[in-house]
Structure 1
Amino acid sequence: MKKESLNDYCSRVNKAIDFIRLNLDTNISLDELAERVNLSKFHFLRVFHAVTGVSPGEYHKQLRMQRTQFQLISHSEISVTQIAYQLGFSSVSALCKSFKKTKKTSPLEWRAHYLRKHSNSGHFEKNKDEYFRSIFNLKYNNMEKQHQFKCQVKELRDQKVIYIRNFSIHVHDSEGFKQMFERLFEWAGSRGLLNFPATKALTVYRSMPDENGMLQADVCLTVPEGVLGEGEIGTTIIPGGTYAVIYKEGTLDECFSAWDYLYNSWLPASGFSADSRGVFLNHLNDSGTHPEGLHIFEMCVSVQKI
């Protein structure tokens, strides 16, 4: 396949994925997706499968299942009925049927199995905290983290961004993220789109890390309306609304510790729950120019009132 054709297909698939993510709680037809990327539905189906390895419908189901699992383990007080409603399933039975087809068990049985597997003492929150620590190599106890992090609830605006996407990158692959940002900066710089501090550099986490620390992520730069991407450079909107925001200056480990603190300490006591709009880091400096090599960032997690 020619490079030009591959870049064009990747661009169209990324546009479709962005639309799916922004409409995770709705049912989207193949016709609607194909129309949005200006391909026949049969051609679009082949291209999407070639780029992602699955069909658009299967990709949508995978995202819903990821969010369902996250809700089950992160908010043990939320019922399956509530999750089904939040994620746009037609009914509780539809969620259970889809979940059982994927996981070979029911949502409640899966949650119970998770509790047994990750807790010898039955204290779910403690072991959930240890699960995230094992991925992020965290070193801080809850009392220490309360002193380290200040979390505020803010209303953020929609942000138009250009991005480079990685479907499978390790959460600690700093070199991989650096290379993605370098390609994005080169593309934006050659078009006069870099205007710091107005331009924001963001890392958007598109999935929770699995037990091996692998996730999907985009590196992004905010751009004015009307900017179009090309090839691997996509454009999308990071939706605004209510976000829990942590500001921090620290090491890379402390960046990941902020994630751990927000999900496992702050959220359960906040009266909010994470929703499907996602998580992103707003990078406020270049750690290479910091006298101590520290990162300055805002971690933003989309939330809704419980």
Structure 2
Amino acid sequence: MTKAALNKYQDRMRRVVNYIDQNPEADLSLEVLSGIAAFSKHHFHRQFSAMFGISVYNYVQLSRMKRASYRLAFRDNETVTDIAFDTGYEAPDAFARAFRQKFGQSPSSFRSSPDWDPWLAAFEPFETSRRKYMDSNYTATDVEIITTPDIPVALMEHRGSPKNIRSTIERFIAWRKSNGLSPSLHATYNIFHSDPRSTADDDYRLDLCVATDKGLDQASAGVESGLIPGGRCARLRVVGNPDDLEAPAMFLYREWLADSGEELRDFPLYCQRVSFFPDVPEREAITDLFLPLK
């Protein structure tokens, strides 16, 4: 197969994954998905497994379950029953059995006290397949140099393995809700103090931030006042998987910075979470990366 033919083949398969990600509640039967790829339904399931290392059935189920689990953990205003129906199950009991089989917890137990270790293990083949073929390619034209103002924030530090970040996110969301700092009115930022590839788990640090100049109590549930200093920044918009920013960050450091002639300012890489999964499909989540410049 020529390179052009291979690229065309892979593009047809990527169309399927994009459709699944953008339409989790739609009819995702073998007939529908093979039609999107323009492949025979008699062979499509083997083609999908060969390319992504996971069956199309498991991919669809995990895609739906990922959105469901995020809604359970981070959207406590949504009922388990509504989430079950939206995930494609005709009855909450069927959803509960499937959820427990995948993650070892019932939906209600996961909502009250998520165990993220089996959850991460269940999604490893799903995320591996996505990283292999779905990473975006960035160019210098995707980067914009802007000047930002000072941004006063309230921040909660996550210290420890990146695998445990979701537990810190739960606490941060709960604190925001109790203080009336909704994402629609108060922008959400993350400050990346560490590179997870070269930092020991015990030393890894990331700050979860919400833009506010509201004063804080001395002991405010592990939250303190901070500041994202204004200045020149290279901004790269990332559309898609909000959990894996390593590829766009490496593009900024390894390719864009080397060719730009710019010098870095003494402040870490940070991002703004512009639109959130699961409020939007994962492929439509928007994250702006900021690389501070002199």
Q: TM-score, normalised by structure 2?
A: 0.50
Q: Which has the larger radius of gyration?
A: 2
